[in-house]
Amino acid sequence: MSPAPALDLRCYLVTSGTGRRTVEVAAAAAAAGAGVVQVRAKDIPTAELLQLVLAVAEAVRAANPGTRVLVDDRADVAAAARRRGAAVHGVHLGQDDLPVTDARALLGPDALIGLTTGTLELVRAAEEVRDQVDYLGAGPFRLTPTKDSGRPPLGIEGYRALTAASSLPIVAIGDVTPEDAPALVQAGAAGVALVRAVMDAPDPARTVRTVLAGIAGV
């Protein structure tokens, strides 16, 4: 068996919505080179979330088998999808979700696990489980209407301190635009997570290509 490709965090899509467009945008982003698609739908029943995850995973695998599909918050749903043979690669955990060690035990050693941070204290705490976590999300970059973390915005300079304190790659999130990507990568981020900038774009694939081109120029 060939080894899994390296985790590509440069352009990371976090989905919104639960309908057909969500699946179509995820596939378009993957086809354009997004390395990760995280399925996020916090307010729908578990059974509906599983069906959404399965649909996204199928569409993403057809568009680009190298793109990793993660489930936001729900390690149980990720595990169920994986048991069904879906191309679901792991989970992204918040600070109040299942602890990392338990998620790792549930999903197994080959699963991807991301963890939300956003302060120096949280980044340093994540070092205690660095052998079980694959990357950190850190935000907000700016205040965003899609998620109220309760943390102050980091701005570009905030990422310099966080990345210096972490042995794990850090993805910037929180109202990030494609134009922000080069400066964030220069500040140490491994990549950027986008929600509205891709999900609401008239041409999601073009947005992803713009992010990747901007990072390539750094």
Give binding residues as ranges. 38-42, 72-73, 97, 116, 144-147
Bridge partners for 198 per DSSP? none
| Residues 78, 70: Cα–Cα separation, whole Å | 7
Q: How far apart are CA 91 and CA 39, in angstroms?
A: 9
Rounded Cα distance between 12 and 108, Å, is: 23
Cβ burial 20-44 (10 Å sphere, 16+ → b, else e): eebbebbbbbbbbbbbbbbbbbeee
- Residues at the binding site for Mg(2+) are 73, 97
DSSP label of 135: E
Distance CA 145, CA 168 (A): 27
Place of tokens 């995820």: 26
DSSP annotation of 69: E
